[in-house]
Amino acid sequence: MKSNTEKNMGKRPLDGVLVLEFCQYLSGPSAGLRLADLGARVIKIENPGKGDLCRILPIKNQWVGDDSLLFHTINRNKESFTANLKSPEELAEIKNLVGKADVLIHNFRPGVMDKLGLGYETVKEINPKLIFAEISGYGSKGPWAKKPGQDLLLQAMSGLMYSSGNQKDAPTPFGLAIGDMLCGAQMVQGILAALVSRNKTGKGAKLELSLLESLLDFQFELLTTYFASGKRPLRSAVNNAHPLLGAPYGIYATSDSHLAIAMIPLADLNAAIGGEKLEDFDQSQVFSHRDEIKSILAEHFKQKSTDHWLGKLRENGLWAMDVKNWKELKQERGYQEMQLEQEVRLPDGKSILTNRCPIRIDGKRMLSEKPAPELGADTEKIKAAFNLFEIQS
């Protein structure tokens, strides 16, 4: 069957790979999205009542038809198959489909797939080549296994909230669903590695990953430093941008906006910006006197405009940048030439703009104009194509 994707873009690396997505919200569906971007056929298995609860999770009260705009951005280029997994007949159809799949992803809480009769030990019997990918909040075992695996809660308990903001600020969340996104990305790594392996061995695998492990992996620098020193890396008192990096690393207010300053040796910085007071410090003090140096710089940068400082820094080959919002970014030629946006066409003829897959292959962007599916839109087509009516119990 020729998918929309193939029609538009030629062959993709995962053409022919069949993925069943038993997922809700963001972590699992983001993994499914990337696999679909890369050419896999991704079928969402949804409850016939509400389906993926993300369909009713609004962001900024924006909707596309009956579904949340968020649902659309994360489920484009997928199909939807509805089944009541508590009905023995429909469960048998699903098992039939599992027998034909390459990958199954789920992000139910631990134990739910087993109760449904779709635990790994069962589906492995049906399909020993299946890659079974299980995303949880906190792992399948241990005292936290049953806790709700929600991004902000995981950020809160993973220590992550002590990396952004300044030292005296409250614990500061990353303002996006970083746990969901990282976990989804890492699960794709596991799934694809298992597919590479299966080509040699013919065997499937069970993969497990939790949001907590992903968030801790993300903090590997902080944790390794903490393990080595026994001291928690502290955010800087002012202009913090990374608890492990010395002065001047940070964002500084200027007379008209803000400036990002990367790792720059103090002497070079001093020469470029004429900051006399920095002459009292040398490079060996960028950690020990981090906050003092940053405070002096903060006062200094306030005196002139961002353009003034960028000119001084860049003519000396030093790493600095102005801070943009999305509106400013979108107006830049560099953004436009990147061609990041793609149109997704909705069944009613309207369209939405969203991001394409960020990876380019052989110089080509990978676009997918197929929208997120309406609930159950592909059930009958899939039943017919896979002969699911012939139940093999």
Catalytic residues: 242
Determine, following the binding rule CB under 8 A, whether residue 377 of this chain makes contact with a copy of itself.
Answer: no
Determine, following the binding rule CB under 8 A, whether residue 247 of this chain makes contact with a copy of itself.
Answer: no
Concatenated DSSP letters of 29-78:
HHHHHHHHHTT-EEEEEE-SSS-SGGGG--BTTBEETTEEHHHHHHHTT-
User: What residue type is 236 in one-letter code?
Assistant: S
What are the structure tokens assigned to 314, written together? 């860049």
Residue from 4, 6, 16, 302 touching a copy of itself (CB under 8 A): that is 16
Q: Which of residues 199-228 bind a copy of itself (CB under 8 A)?
A: 199-200, 205-210, 212-214, 216-228
What are the structure tokens assigned to 280, written together? 């009292």
Binding-site size, a copy of itself (CB under 8 A): 140
Cβ atoms 365, 9 nearer than 8 A: no
State which residue, 129 or 324, has the beta carbon closest to a copy of itself. Answer: 324
State the Cα–Cα distance between residues 386 and 97, nearest whole angstrom: 7
- Using CA of residue 293, residue 296, residue 297, residue 298, what is the dihedral sign? positive
Q: What's the angle, vertex CA 179, arms to CA 147 and CA 71, rounded to 5?
A: 95
State which residue, 88 or 142, has the beta carbon closest to a copy of itself. Answer: 142
Specify the stretch interacting with a copy of itself by CB under 8 A; choose among 80-88, 89-97, 265-273, 336-344: 336-344
Q: Which of residues 306-335 bind a copy of itself (CB under 8 A)?
A: 319-329, 333-334
What number of CA atoms fall less than 13 Å from residue 353's CA on the CB side? Answer: 3
Determine, following the binding rule CB under 8 A, whether residue 305 of this chain makes contact with a copy of itself.
Answer: no
Q: Which of residues 354-373 bind a copy of itself (CB under 8 A)?
A: 354-355, 357-363
Specify the stretch interacting with a copy of itself by CB under 8 A; choose among 80-88, 93-101, 146-154, 274-282: 146-154
The DSSP symbol for 186 reads H
State which residue, 94 or 272, has the beta carbon closest to a copy of itself. Answer: 272
User: What residue type is 44 in one-letter code?
Assistant: K
Whole-number Cα distances in Å, 181 to 215, 241, 393: 10, 21, 36
Determine, following the binding rule CB under 8 A, whether residue 121 of this chain makes contact with a copy of itself.
Answer: no
Q: What would the x/- binding string for a copy of itself be over residues 45 to 84, using CB under 8 A?
A: ------------xxxxxx------xx-xxx----------
Q: What would the x/- binding string for a copy of itself be over residues 265 to 294, using CB under 8 A?
A: ----------------------x-------
